[in-house]
């Protein structure tokens, strides 16, 4: 019998998962958050097939037109349809949120697990680097990184992802250290389970729930960060639509066309609220201390 076959059973995640799902489904605010997220994801995914106008098509006959039957959300300073730009802008925002958090999780989790598992100088080096990165405010770090990489949506996602990485290093490190003190992990250690198997079978499944919660909440932060960078001209470049860059232009036409500023901001608030509510709901559902 190999060491793997002798390993004590880790926490039965499927049962925990079912219970968590039940709790999540009975939480109205989490459901509302999930509905908002699903709505915006559907908009972003279906953008190419929805019966909307070309988001970059200009019309000098329809400059800064108020919402009407022809243009439900109005038009912008060069006659582009705001509804269509909003729908395509959802793609940029959600893509930025999800891709940057994926970068942060994929970089941060292994480093955090390594620091928490190995301790010693590995931990010292990774922890000092994390503290150094955390020492600079998130947005200022993202601005500096985007400036270094050059302004574009792709680079904004990389910059946001790198800026968010320390959050996941810290979380994974703390969670790993906690899991390592559990009896079943100590038993696995005692019977000589190899570190890769230990990490894969015991540590990663157990640190996954808090990382999932943090990732959901960080998507919200990342969406705001992308909008902020695009607002400053460091994210999505014109004429491609993005909610942040739409607001950057809209601020110059507040008196003549206030609708230009209203819709993109409202969309950011709703999608961020959605991820925040969903993240809070997930935290409550996955937290063993909660009922």
Partner 1 sequence: MLEFITRRILTAIPTIILISMFVFGLQKLLPGDPVLAMAGEERDPAVIEMLRQKYHLNDPIPQQYLSWIEGVAHGDLGISLRTQEPVTVLIGQKLPVTIQLAIMSIIVAFLIGIPAGVLSAYKKGTWIDWLANGIGLTGLSIPHFWLGIMMILLVSVRLHWLPASGYVSPWVDPVRSFETLLMPSLVLGSGLAAYLMRHTRSAMLGVLKADYVRTARAKGLAEHTVLIKHALRNALVPVVTVATLLFGDLLGGAVLTEQIFTIPGFGKLVVDAVFSRDYAVVQGIVLCTAVGFIAMNLLADVAFRLLNPKTRTS
CB 74 within 8 A of CB 257: yes
Which residues touch 104 (CB under 8 Å, ≥6 apart)?
Answer: 161, 162, 164, 165, 167, 168, 215, 218
Q: Do 211 and 175 form a contact (C-beta atoms < 8 A)?
A: yes
Q: Does the footprint of partner 1 cover residue 3 (CB under 8 A)?
A: no
Contact string (CB under 8 A) for partner 1, positions 81-120, x = contact? ----------------------------------------
- Report, in Å, the least distance between residue 156 CB and partner 1: 13
List the beta bridge partners of residue 75: 81
Piece of the chain touching partner 1 by CB under 8 A; list 47-55, 67-75, 106-114, 140-148? 140-148
Instruction: Specify the DSSP class assigned to residue 65.
Output: P
Binding status of residue 137 toward partner 1 by CB under 8 A: yes
Looking at residue 81, what DSSP letter applies?
Answer: B
Q: Which residues in 145-166 are b (16+ Cβ under 10 Å) and which e? A: bbeeeebebebbbbbbbbbbbb
User: Counting contacts by CB under 8 A, is residue 35 touching partner 1?
Assistant: no
CB 136 → partner 1: shortest distance, Å? 5
Can residue 259 be called a binding residue for partner 1 (CB under 8 A)? no
Q: Of 281, 155, 138, 137, nearest to 213 (Cα)? A: 281
Find the binder of partner 1 among 42, 128, 186, 194 (CB under 8 A): 128
Q: Does 159 bind partner 1 (CB under 8 A)?
A: no
Tokens of 150: 């050059």
Nearer to partner 1, 69 or 135 (CB): 135
Min. distance of Cβ 186 from partner 1 in angstroms?
Answer: 29
* CA–CA gap between residue 69 and residue 99 (Å, rounded): 36
Which structure tokens are listed for 135? 């020492």
Q: Is 74 left (phi over 0), alpha (psi -120 to 50) or beta?
A: left
Could you tell me which of 109, 106, 59, 100 has the C-alpha nearest to residue 235? Answer: 100
User: DSSP label at 7?
Assistant: P
Counted residue by residue, the chain has a size of: 291
Instruction: Report if residue 38 touches partner 1, rule: CB under 8 A.
Output: no
User: 62 vs 134, which CB is nearer to partner 1?
Assistant: 134
Of 90-98, 191-199, 207-215, 266-274: span binding partner 1 (CB under 8 A): 266-274
CA distance 264 to 89: 8
- Using CB under 8 A, which of the segments 44-52, 184-192, 203-211, 262-270 binds partner 1? 262-270
The interface region with partner 1, picked from 4-12, 51-59, 139-147, 198-206 by CB under 8 A, is: 139-147
Q: Number of residues interacting with partner 1: please give it, by CB under 8 A.
A: 44
Residue 148 CB, nearest approach to partner 1 (Å) = 5
Residues that bind partner 1 (CB under 8 A): 128-129, 131-133, 135-141, 143-148, 150, 220, 224, 227-228, 231-234, 247, 250-251, 254-255, 258, 261-262, 264-265, 268-269, 272-273, 276-277, 280
């Amino acid at each position: 019998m190999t060491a793997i076959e002798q390993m004590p059973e880790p926490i039965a995640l499927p049962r925990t998962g079912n219970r968590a799902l039940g709790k999540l489904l009975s939480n109205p605010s989490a459901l509302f958050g999930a509905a908002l997220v699903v709505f915006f994801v559907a908009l972003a995914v279906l953008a190419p097939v929805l019966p909307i106008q070309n988001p970059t098509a200009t019309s000098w006959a329809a400059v800064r037109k108020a919402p009407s039957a022809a243009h439900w959300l109005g038009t912008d300073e060069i006659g582009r349809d705001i509804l269509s730009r909003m729908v395509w802008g959802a793609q940029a925002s959600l893509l930025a949120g999800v891709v940057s958090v994926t970068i942060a999780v994929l970089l941060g989790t292994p480093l955090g697990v390594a620091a928490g598992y190995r301790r010693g100088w590995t931990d010292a080096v990774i922890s000092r680097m994390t503290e150094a990165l955390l020492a600079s405010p998130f947005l200022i770090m993202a601005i500096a990184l985007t400036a270094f990489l050059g302004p574009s949506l792709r680079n904004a996602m990389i910059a946001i992802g790198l800026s968010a990485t320390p959050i996941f290093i810290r979380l994974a490190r703390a969670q790993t250290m906690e899991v390592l003190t559990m009896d079943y992990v100590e038993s696995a250690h005692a019977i000589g389970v190899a570190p890769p198997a230990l990490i894969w079978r015991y540590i990663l499944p157990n640190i996954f729930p808090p990382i999932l919660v943090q990732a959901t909440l960080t998507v919200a932060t990342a969406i705001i960060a992308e909008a902020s960078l695009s607002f400053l001209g460091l994210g999505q470049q014109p004429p491609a639509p993005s909610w942040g860059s739409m607001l950057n232009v809209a601020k110059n036409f507040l008196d003549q066309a206030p609708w230009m500023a209203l819709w993109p901001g409202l969309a950011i608030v709703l999608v961020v609220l959605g991820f925040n509510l969903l993240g809070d709901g997930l935290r409550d559902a996955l937290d063993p201390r909660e009922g």
